[in-house]
Amino acid sequence: MLKRSISFLRSLNLMRLREGIQATRPTSSQLHHMISERKRREKLNESFHTLKSLLPSGTKKDKASVLTTAREYLTSLRAQVAELSKRNQQLEARLPPAAKEAYNEEAAAAAGSSNERVSVTLTRAVSESTPDQDQQIFDLQVVLRSVECCTEDLVIRILEFLKQVNNVSLMSMEANTWMSGSDSNVNRVILRLRVDQGTEWDEAAFQEAVRRVVADLALNNCRNQ
């Protein structure tokens, strides 16, 4: 009787242990939710790392600091855009009326000569010279035909890209927008750049990189509509 009692108690304990394991084992829906939540956290962390890489060096790694610095940096970029636009207006105001009209007609013709949605041209500024022979001046013109994208977004995205290019610095910029027909806006940005050619510099690769940045901006705006 004692042996039977011990055997029965062992069997009872094993049954309880198995039932406990089955009770704590997650169901398929719970597993799916756990996997989705982990992927969401990983994607969120990747987005924070990408955002931090675009911010000035020295930014703290915690998420609160990244968000605060990103807000301040975006505000600073918007202020720079407003200041550069103000300077351009002041310079345009000094132009004689005939020269201003010819300039606007030339710009409209240059931007309207192509039906491409994104147009990027990079030309060497022959009229500008620098004391340093290892530096060259280029004019970068970006034209984006889009209803969804505004000139301010276009300028901010280009400035963010230029910040990542070590051998390029911005000298001046002008931006304007006009209607082309009844279904699209033409956003045009012209930037004068100083390029340090002492380092590796590929004009075609740089121009293509700018075109991809602008094309991604237009594509994301279309998806958000």
Q: Among residues 197, 157, 199, 155, which one has the least CA distance to residue 176? A: 155
Residue 63 lies in a domain: no
* Most confident by average pLDDT, 102-111, 151-160, 175-184: 151-160
Residue 41 lies in a domain: no
Question: Could you tell me which residue, 180 or 169, shows the higher pLDDT?
Answer: 169
The total number of structural domains in the chain stands at 1
pTM reported for the whole predicted model: 0.49
pLDDT in tens, 74-130: 888 888 887 877 777 777 666 666 555 555 555 555 444 445 678 888 888 765 555
Q: What is the rounded average pLDDT of the residues 14-32?
A: 70
Residue 181 is predicted with a pLDDT of: 58
Question: Distance between CA atoms of 72 and 107, rounded to whole angstroms?
Answer: 34
Residue 161 lies in a domain: yes
Residue 180 lies in a domain: yes
Q: What is the helix (H) or strand (E) element at residue 190, kind and residue range?
A: strand 185-196
Please report which confidence band the pLDDT of residue 136 belongs to, taking 50, 70 and 90 as the band edges: confident
Residue 133 lies in a domain: yes
Q: What is the rounded average pLDDT of the residues 1-21?
A: 75
Please report which confidence band the pLDDT of residue 174 belongs to, taking 50, 70 and 90 as the band edges: confident
Residue-averaged pLDDT of the chain: 76
Residue 168's contacts (CB-CB under 8 Å, 6 or more residues apart) are 162, 193, 194, 195, 196, 206
Q: Which phi and psi (to 5°) does residue 162 adopt? A: -65, -30
Kindly tell me if the per-residue pLDDT of 225 is higher than 60. no
Q: What is the rounded average pLDDT of the residues 154-159?
A: 86
* 65 within 8 A of 59, measured Cβ to Cβ: yes
Question: Could you tell me which residue, 102 or 59, shows the higher pLDDT?
Answer: 59
- Taking the CB of residue 163, how many other CB atoms lie within 10 A of it? 15
Residue 134 lies in a domain: yes
> What's the N-to-C CA distance of the chain in angstroms?
79
- Taking the CB of residue 8, how many other CB atoms lie within 10 A of it? 10
Domain of residue 133, CATH code: 3.30.2000
Q: What secondary structure does DSSP assign to 77-127, as a single string? A: HHHHHHHHHHHHHHHHHHS-HHHHHHHHHHHHHHHHT---SEEEEEEE-TT
Q: What secondary structure does DSSP assign to 42-54, as a single string? A: HHHHHHHHHHHHH
- Starting from the edge strand earliest in sequence, which strands make up the sheet with 118-124, in order? 118-124, 135-146, 185-196, 168-179
Structural domain of 194 = 70-224
Residue 176 lies in a domain: yes
Residue 102's contacts (CB-CB under 8 Å, 6 or more residues apart) are none
Question: Distance between CA atoms of 224 and 25, rounded to whole angstroms?
Answer: 41
- Taking the CB of residue 78, how many other CB atoms lie within 10 A of it? 13
CA angle (176 as vertex; 125, 184 as ends), nearest 5? 120
* Most confident by average pLDDT, 120-124, 149-153, 217-221: 120-124
Residue 88 lies in a domain: yes
Give CA separation, 40 vs 31, 50, 119, 216, 220, in Å. 14, 15, 36, 23, 20
